[in-house]
């Protein structure tokens, strides 16, 4: 499994699926449940762990190497949401706008859907019934991400501008990851149509890419790419 991934980035992805639990076996789920309630009061402490892991541009990424220990911060993240909400509403919303302003995203009233207990419960029941294979695949899905530093380098080389903000890098990484997902899923569909099995081959990816282009999910070049 990937170790160098930011655990908090993984936690961010968890919010999408809205479970507070980590993609580990049931025992860990049960053992972490009491910790969650305890951490409700200890939100500040947990935030430090998550933040340091999250901000890798500041080059202080303390990524725990052990998988289970790196998963525990993820559990705390949803308990942090409640604390963050309380903390934020008490503080003044002053942003040092040294980077491009994200005032659009400031309305913290739109909390991630993980606050929805029904969805969380559903996810938990599903996750508890995963086989080992499914669990490891799910863990890869949640924890994998493109490196922000590499993406930033790529964006700088494309745009020629040095001022690539952190939110932009994060957004592009997220978009690219979802695009990879679309590609791989469509390639699998192509494989089932052709009744093939095993690892995905480049021809499947190319066919998937063609289909995506036809559906209009891939931005078309206005100018033909002449020199590769």
Partner 1 sequence: MSNPSAGTPSKAKAGSSQPSEASFKRKRGVFQKDLQHMMYGFGDDANPFPETVTLVEDIVVEYVTDLAHKAQDIGSKRGKLSVEDFLYLIRKDTPKLNRCTELLSMQEELKQARKAFEVDEEKLATLE
Restricting to residues 36-65, which ones interact with partner 1 according to CB under 8 A?
A: 44, 47-48, 50-51, 54-55
Tell which one of 38, 40, 185, 193 touches partner 1 (CB under 8 A): 185
In the bound state with partner 1, the residue whose beta carbon lies nearer, of 34 and 133, is: 133
CB atoms under 10 Å from CB of 140, counted, come to 12
Polymer length of the chain: 228
Tell which one of 10, 12, 24, 190 touches partner 1 (CB under 8 A): 12
Residue 115: alpha-carbon gap to chain centroid: 17
Q: What is the dihedral of CA 37, 39, 43, 44, to 10 degrees?
A: 160
What is d(CA 20, CA 152) in angstroms, rounded to the nearest whole number? 30
Interacting span for partner 1 (CB under 8 A) from 28-36, 68-76, 116-124, 184-192:
184-192
- Decide if residue 67 touches partner 1 (CB under 8 A): no
Interacting span for partner 1 (CB under 8 A) from 27-35, 59-67, 116-124, 194-202:
194-202
CB of 74 to partner 1, least distance (A): 13
Tell which one of 81, 120, 127, 190 touches partner 1 (CB under 8 A): 81
Q: How many amino acids of this chain bind partner 1 (CB under 8 A)?
A: 96
Q: Which of residues 20-39 bind partner 1 (CB under 8 A)?
A: none
Q: Which residues of 63-98 are buried (b: 16+ CB within 10 A; e: fewer)?
A: eeeeeeebbbbbbbbbbbbebbeeeeeeeeeeeeee
Tell which one of 105, 118, 195, 214 touches partner 1 (CB under 8 A): 105
Q: Which helix (H) or strand (E) holds 208?
A: helix 202-215
Structure tokens of 67? 């998988």
Q: Which of residues 122-181 bind partner 1 (CB under 8 A)?
A: 137-147, 150-151, 153-168, 170-172, 174-181
- Decide if residue 121 touches partner 1 (CB under 8 A): no
Rounded to the nearest 10 degrees, the angle between the axes of helix 43-54 and helix 67-90 is 110
């Amino acid at each position: 499994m990937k170790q160098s991934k930011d655990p908090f980035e993984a936690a961010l992805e968890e919010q999408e699926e809205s479970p507070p639990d980590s993609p580990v076996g049931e025992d860990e789920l049960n053992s972490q449940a009491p910790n969650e309630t305890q951490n409700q009061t200890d939100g500040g402490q947990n935030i430090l762990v998550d933040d340091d892991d999250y901000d890798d541009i500041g080059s202080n990424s303390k990524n725990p190497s052990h998988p289970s220990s790196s998963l525990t911060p993820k559990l705390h993240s949803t308990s942090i949401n409640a604390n963050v909400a309380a903390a934020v509403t008490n503080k003044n919303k002053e942003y040092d706008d040294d980077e491009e302003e994200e005032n659009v995203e400031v309305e913290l009233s739109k909390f991630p859907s993980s606050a929805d207990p029904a969805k969380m419960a559903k996810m938990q029941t599903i996750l508890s019934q995963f086989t080992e294979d499914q669990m490891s695949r799910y863990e890869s899905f949640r924890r994998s991400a493109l490196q922000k530093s590499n993406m930033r380098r790529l964006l700088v080389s494309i745009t020629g501008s040095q001022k690539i903000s952190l939110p932009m890098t994060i957004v592009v990484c997220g978009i690219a990851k979802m695009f990879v997902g679309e590609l791989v899923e469509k390639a699998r569909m192509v494989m089932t149509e052709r009744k093939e099995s095993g690892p995905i081959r480049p021809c499947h990816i190319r066919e998937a890419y063609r289909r995506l282009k036809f559906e209009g999910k891939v931005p078309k070049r206005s100018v033909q790419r002449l020199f590769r």
